Amino acid sequence: MSSPTFSSPATIFMFFCFFFINLPFSNSLLKYPLINATARRAPRQLSVNYYAKSCPQVESLVGSVTSNMFKEAPASGPATIRLFFHDCFVEGCDGSILISSKAGSKELAEKDAEDNKDIAKEAFEGINKAKAIVESKCPGVVSCADILAIATRNFVHLVGGPYYEVKKGRWDGKLSKASRVHQNLPQSNSTVDQLLKLFSSKGLTSEDLVVLSGAHTIGFAHCKQFVNRIYNYKGTKKPDPYMDPRLFKALKMSCPQFGGNVDIVAPFDVTTPFSFDNAYYGNLEAKLGLLASDQALSLDPRTKPLVQELAKDKHKFFQAFADAMEKMGGIGVKRGRKHGEFRKDCTMHHM
Ligand code: HEM
Ligand SMILES: [Ca+2]
Ligand SMILES: [Ca+2]
């Protein structure tokens, strides 16, 4: 339970409290109204009732695991949400990220690609645990991809975000190659142009980009993801002018330019890093974004208006986030044996 990504936030976080005093730990248990995200038809006709006959208890089985994980290792929340995002963007939402590399095989699986290395292992463990319990009650029925989608929704809600229905019916994918990962994921220094192109290649709009980036209302990033903003913005050897000097100072103390501890992380949302709210957007307006890619959303005329709107309206953010998660959850969905499979164990392809 004490991987570096889990234990180190505390260290740096104490420091942040000094600057940013407003720290609600409280609202994770608040109940928000059920948000209906089913107005649009998802691709390949995923459905909320997909397992109604074959495994009616699937949601409560996954729910028991996510609740426990959230108590024992709260970092599995943000890590699982990120896992789902990285699954959907590479080969679609098909559980391809869950496959383990084969010993002796010349090609690594997605999981071991550089861009996925910092996803906390608790996230993978949680999905494997949920799959084992689901298999024990409904053998050979529920895909790993659907379990990941359900677990992600549960964690969003557990950290205080919206509750939405998850549509199901994804098959698992037969392909998991590390070499396919990097080009399909956004980078911390991506420009808005690059982000828009990538999201559009997945069928997502500029609104989806802004809304889904709101997931950075929770979680942490390693120094290497923003160190250039502190010491050498665009080769100027100066800090990024679009960063509040207080944030700059705090980050500088935790992240030396060279030779720092590679496990140190900083919160994306300096005000409420453990609760799912719309503070992320207000932070962007106050030059308190952590990654260049976050901060850029409040500077580009194509994305700035929505940042401003969401900063003002938490209800709108929750509704939009639920809708956008459904949309992201429909990327590259597989059905049928040509591209799809059902696994017993999420880490191994079906024999
Ligand atoms: C828009 C472009 C995006 C970029 C450039 C980006 C980049 C990153 C980076 C660099 C990290 C930190 C990794 C680390 O150092 O450990 C991170 C963390 C995270 N990302 Fe994103 N991300 C983006 C969009 C998203 C989306 C769409 C979601 C989900 C809907 C998401 C969810 C998360 C979460 C929850 C974390 C925190 C993980 C943790 O604390 O364990 N991100 N992201
Ligand atoms: Ca995938
Ligand atoms: Ca927050």
CA distance 151 to 337: 25
Ligand 1 and 82: CB distance under 6 A: yes
Distance separating alpha carbons of residues 146 and 154, to the nearest angstrom: 12
The residue type of 77 is G
For residue 44, what pLDDT is reported?
A: 60
The H or E element containing residue 222 is: strand 220-222
Q: Which residues of the chain have pLDDT under 70?
A: 1-44
Residue 23 confidence (pLDDT): 35
The CB of 187 under 6 Å from ligand 1? The reply is yes
**Per-residue model confidence as pLDDT tens digits over 95-146:** 999 999 999 888 999 999 999 999 999 999 999 999 999 999 999 999 999 9
Evaluate: CB of 319 within 6 angstroms of ligand 1: no
- Is this prediction's ipTM beyond 0.90? yes
pLDDT of 45 reads 84
Nearest of 229, 217, 310 to residue 271 by alpha carbon: 217
Q: Helical H runs in 159-264?
A: 192-201, 206-213, 227-231, 245-254
pLDDT for res 324: 98
Q: Tell the CATH topology of 1-23+187-331.
A: Peroxidase; domain 2 (1.10.420)
Helical pair 144-158 and 58-72, crossing angle rounded to 10 deg: 50
79 CA to centre of ligand 3 in angstroms: 15
Bridge pairing between strands 34-35 and 163-164: parallel
- pTM of the entire structure? 0.91
Residue nearest to atom 19 of ligand 1 (CA): 82
Domain segments of the chain: what residues? Answer: 1-23+187-331, 37-185
Q: Which among 149, 165, 172 is positioned nearest to 33, based on CA atoms?
A: 165
172 among the known binding-site residues? no
pLDDT (tens digit per residue) in 164-211 = 999 999 999 999 999 999 999 999 999 999 999 999 999 999 999 999
Which pLDDT score, from 0 to 100, does residue 6 have?
A: 37
CATH hierarchy code of domain 37-185: 1.10.520.10
107 vs 256: CA distance, rounded Å: 35
**Which atom of ligand 1 is nearest the CA belonging to 84?**
29
Other Cβ atoms within 10 Å of 97 Cβ, number = 31
Q: Based on C-alpha coordinates, what's the Rg of the chain?
A: 20
236 annotated ligand-binding residue: no
3-state secondary structure of 73: coil
**Domains 1-23+187-331 and 37-185 belong to one CATH topology:** no
Token pair listed for 129: 């645990």
Which residues form the catalytic set?
A: 86
Beta bridge partners of 222: 265
Alpha-carbon gap, residue 82 to 212, rounded angstroms: 11
Query: For 55, phi and psi rounded to 5 degrees?
Result: -160, 70
Taking the C-alpha atoms of residue 293 and residue 239, their distance in angstroms, rounded to an integer, is 15
C-alpha distances in Å from residue 26, one per residue of 16, 19, 23, 270: 18, 20, 9, 16
Tokens for 24?
Answer: 């609600």
Q: What is the pLDDT of residue 42?
A: 42
